[in-house]
Amino acid sequence: METNILKAIRNIVENPITELKAYYETRNRANSMGGALEEYVKDIFAGTINQKDEQERLRIIERMFSYSGNQNNPPDSIIRNGDAIEVKKIESYNSALALNSSYPKAKLYADSPMITTKCRQCEEWIEKDILYVVGVVPKENDKEGKHLKHLSMVFGVDYAASAEIYERVKEVISNGVNTIPNVEFSPSKELGRVNRVDPLGITYLRIRGMWGIENPLNTFKYLCEKNTSCDFEFIAIINEEKYLSFPKEDIEILEKLAKNVNAFEILDVVIKVPDNPSALKNAKLIRLIR
């Protein structure tokens, strides 16, 4: 694994860029703020923020990532021999994350029916930690926003419940729908599918789940209050076990940076366990305010 979240955080601190759309439009890399945010996340992990040679940038990104996904299937990318990454853009500090038909992931599994074959075969793996990266880009006069006000990073294991929690709810609803009398159902990866709705038997109904989750700012508001008056705020929450699993050199560099850079700090905190909020675990709160 050539890169990780600690290296990405270091790149954010040393190369803060908040006018993402303008930055990436001039390099012909993205024409929307959502696309620019995804490119920015790739660059901070790959260390290619200031790389002007597009061919060289693409070669570095290919070396750092084993998979780059699509908008319809999680994740957005996978660090080679490392973590999976899911990027979300929201338009206000209180907006929830729309996950559509895929429930929140504590971890990503290779046998998940929600991922693509390319993702499953990008490298040899069984499960991966998944990192949620959420950018707040407020609308500007009812137009697409251009300024990144806030960026959050949190791993699924510290944010979402175990898969069995969501699967149980999904199964109960699906079983309930399938017991409705006088309706023809067929097997489906979704909550259900009703066939032959009309007298001709040519209409069908797909029953889909539309999942959503509170954004990390609201979920972890017991750790720190959001700062809406600053130009840019970055927050990362990493449980202690995960934090200490990264190379010692990366930890030392980041902690030295926290001592030398104004308004950048690494704090020891405790966070709630998603499956049991009464239990707590040690974690690091990493924060930058500009």
Domain residue limits, the chain: 5-160+211-289
Q: What is the pLDDT of residue 289?
A: 95
Residues 193 and 190: their CA atoms lie apart, in Å, by 8
Residues 186 and 188: their CA atoms lie apart, in Å, by 6
Residues 129 and 105: their CA atoms lie apart, in Å, by 9
Q: What is the pLDDT of residue 28?
A: 65
Residues 247 and 119: their CA atoms lie apart, in Å, by 26
Low-confidence stretches of the chain (pLDDT beneath 70): 1, 28-31, 141-145
Q: What is the pLDDT of residue 143?
A: 66
Both tokens assigned to 220: 């972890």
Both tokens assigned to 46: 């790959």
Q: Does residue 240 contact residue 281 with C-beta atoms inside 8 Å?
A: yes
Q: What is the pLDDT of residue 31?
A: 67
What count of other Cβ atoms lies within 10 Å of the Cβ of residue 164? 11
Model confidence pLDDT, tens digit, residues 114-138: 899 999 999 999 999 999 999 999 8
3-state secondary structure of 225: coil
Q: What is the pLDDT of residue 145?
A: 67
> Max CA-CA distance within the chain?
73
Q: How far apart are the first and last CA of the chain?
A: 30
Question: One-letter amino acid identity for 59?
Answer: R
Question: Which residues 6+ apart lie within 8 Å of 132 measured at CB?
Answer: 86, 88, 97, 152, 153, 154, 155, 156, 159, 216
Q: What is the pLDDT of residue 186?
A: 80
